[in-house]
Amino acid sequence: MKKWLAIITVLATLLLVCLSLGSCSEDDPLEDTPNYGLEFTLHELDDVKFYKVTGIGDCKDADIVIPERYNNIIVKYIEDGAFENCKSIKSVKLSDNIYSIGKNAFRNCTNLEKVDIGNGVTTIYSNAFFGCIGLKELRIGKALRELAIDMSLDGDERDVVFGKCATSLETIYVSPENSVFTVKDNCLIDVEENKMILGCKNSIIPNDGSVISFESGVFEGCQGLKNITIPSSISTIGDYMFAGCTNLESVTFEANSVSVWAHAFENCTALKEVSASKITYVDVAAFKGCTALNSITLARKLSTIGNNAFASNTEIVFDGAPIEWERIYKEENWHGASSPKITFTKDNSEALTEEEMYSERYVNESGTIELILGDSRYKITSLADGLVEEGEYSTRPDRILFEPDEGDNYYVSVEYTDTGMVIDGDNFVLVP
């Protein structure tokens, strides 16, 4: 009898300890009690009740499991900012009932190592995992269709669902049943847009045309990346694409024309070699802080150099003549040095004429486009279907802004190829 009383006493003590500590683990019988787990709020839409997860609550666990139900009612959403800045979380697993992950939901959860996005999630909103620099494993279910963009953000605020997640990332998995996203050569790809969303230290950018553009910062902060080859299908290096990759030593561009956008290689302090002489556009801070990059070769038909594009010690090798260099648009503080060293491969007697320097002509059966490189503008002489009047239009490396006399301004997409360019899906071939 005494033995049984002792056992009962021990069990009672253990129960009291469990009640005092609380838990949010998947098998915890107290998960339906808000005082001992995650925070939930009840909502109702069209007479259907459901819960949203709104915060960490009293949960002390490092491994978070979002349950299918709470108080016997379905849990459908992760609220905006629900776990933002939670440093204690190491893993997150969502049930298949979760429909969406809100804006900033896990932002700056810097110790989060593993994320398992359930098979029910269709949408992940702006910056949901931005700054999760400890993330090692990302798993995406079969239902994900959209990474939403917040158009209300101001110009200085970035909007990237997985921004800086490449820092420690080792594994990316996508359900083979997902029709929009896939993984190829350790790259997360939106197959509908042929856009690379996220990379990791083991990534090799596919050269089969499955990637033609990039999300902002796909490799940002990736510490395991040492060498990378950009295939010929890629002519634009997106903003923040390799920013802070402090172990990146060499980059090889295979395209005939390369545009490097803002902050693309900023603070790549180990970068020593950029293998290309076809860089025709350099945006703001593109190579800022690349202190190991002693020299870089820029294309003869370079159009623009933005502010603080290069580190103070980087020598510029210009594949052209001094007079051609003077024609290029350069922002006032384009180089980190007040008097940067510039080497020219040709003298003024070998310089192209202004027309040769600034123009390239692209044609197809229904129109002609003249690309005026020197001031980053397009002169439209004619275009397919006659929808665009002749004139000059401002541009970025991947799009043209049309400004019709009547109606709203609008952009069309531009993609460079080995033989010319594709404008809004219409192929144009470069005239030799």
* Lowest mean pLDDT across 6-20, 168-182, 268-282: 6-20
Task: Summarize the confidence of residues 43-72 as an average pLDDT.
Answer: 93
Model pTM score: 0.77
Task: Summarize the confidence of residues 117-122 as an average pLDDT.
Answer: 96
Q: Where are the domains of the chain?
A: 22-349, 357-430
Taking the C-alpha atoms of residue 100 and residue 108, their distance in angstroms, rounded to an integer, is: 19
Question: The tokens of 153 are what?
Answer: 């953000």
Task: Say which CATH architecture domain 357-430 belongs to.
Answer: Beta Barrel (2.40)
Task: Summarize the confidence of residues 364-380 as an average pLDDT.
Answer: 47
Task: Please tell me the predicted confidence (pLDDT) of residue 30.
Answer: 35
Domain 22-349 homologous superfamily, CATH: Ribonuclease Inhibitor (3.80.10.10)
The kind and range of the H/E element at 110 are: none
Task: Please tell me the predicted confidence (pLDDT) of residue 303.
Answer: 80
Q: What are phi and psi of 100, to 5 degrees?
A: -150, 155
- Say if residue 323's pLDDT is above 60: yes
Phi-psi region for residue 405, left (φ > 0), alpha (ψ -120 to 50) or beta? alpha
Taking the C-alpha atoms of residue 275 and residue 311, their distance in angstroms, rounded to an integer, is: 18
Task: Please tell me the predicted confidence (pLDDT) of residue 355.
Answer: 66
- Say if residue 326's pLDDT is above 60: yes
Residue type, 65: V
DSSP characters for 40-75? EEEEEETTEEEEEEEE-TT---SEEEE-SEETTEEE
Count CA atoms closer than 13 A to 408's CA, side-chain side.
2
The CA distances from residue 61 to 79, 170, 185, in Å, are: 19, 24, 34
DSSP characters for 131-146? T-TT--EEEE-S---E
Domains 22-349 and 357-430 share a fold: no
Task: Please tell me the predicted confidence (pLDDT) of residue 417.
Answer: 62
